[in-house]
Amino acid sequence: MRILLTNDDGYDQPGLLELENLLKDDHEIWVVAPLHHCSGTSHALGLYSSMELRKEGFRKWALEGTPTDCVKISLMEVMKDNPPDLLISGINPGANLANNIFYSGTVAAATEAALWDIPSIAISVRVTSDNANPFFRTASSVLKSLMKQGIAEKIPEGTILNINVPEVEFDEIAGMKWTKMARFAADISFRHLEPGRVFAYDRYRSLPVVDPLDSDVDALSKAMVSLTLLDSNRTSSATPPDLELTDGSI
């Protein structure tokens, strides 16, 4: 299988290298990842600056752009004659759960591929503030298990499989669970560096969740792997409000 790897942390980061080492013996691996750290960039594009594409090795490039830029340039330039069968974004050091999914460059890269009907996976591992060594090996073992089950061929068209892995050894995982995206009931506060003028985001911490049942946040809190299918089509399934609409001019 031809697999495109990317992330939002940088082409030389350990989570991405873990994926390369896991997959390189059984698959044709291509890597196009950001030159610099791009966490929190969501689906941003580098529209107003040039982007240098640097060759970093065999079928491996670093782009001076965002994760979404990396996927676009992969599909339209680097791999235009050899499109990928699967895209994997990660392994991100830090879970991508609940509201944070919207800000995640890791998930955005996978979403961009899904928009072009390429099966895509975003994979992240939980990291608490007191743990300096992310459990990348646990996350790669989870992915290996799913790949053996043929997950790449089973992801529904136009969706993203968002995987979040607990910070435990592989044999300590309490199971895997299909989950829904949670919604935080609060938000990270700001630090006042200069009161009323200079602000910075406070350190990330666990937040309360609205309706935690069967959610990604709840699964991870129980040392379970959270598997969430995210839709690249953002059209709501809710019934539209009753309005008097016209076919011509208003």
The DSSP string of 122-172 is: EEEE---TT--S--HHHHHHHHHHHHHTTHHHHSPTTEEEEEEE-SS-GGG
Output the pLDDT for position 129: 66
Q: Which residue(s) pair with 124 in the sheet? A: 92, 164
Three-state secondary-structure class, residue 227: strand
- Stretch 202-219: mean pLDDT: 83
The Cα–Cα gap between 209 and 40 comes to: 20
Name the DSSP class of 74: I
Domains in the chain, CATH or no CATH each: 2-183+214-231 (3.40.1210.10)
- Provide the pLDDT confidence category of residue 227 given band limits of 50, 70 and 90: very high
Output the pLDDT for position 11: 95
Name the DSSP class of 112: H
Helices (H) and strands (E) in the chain, counts: 6, 13
- Provide the pLDDT confidence category of residue 249 given band limits of 50, 70 and 90: low
In the predicted structure, residue 95 carries a pLDDT above the cut 90? yes
Backbone angles phi, psi at 89, to 5 degrees: -115, 125
Average pLDDT, the chain: 93
Measured on CA atoms in the order 85, 141, 65, 158, is the torsion positive or negative? positive
In the predicted structure, residue 215 carries a pLDDT above the cut 90? yes
What is the model's pTM?
Answer: 0.93
The Cα–Cα gap between 179 and 170 comes to: 20
Output the pLDDT for position 130: 66
**Could you tell me the maximum CA-CA distance found in the chain, to the nearest angstrom?**
64
Q: Percent of the chain, pLDDT > 90?
A: 78
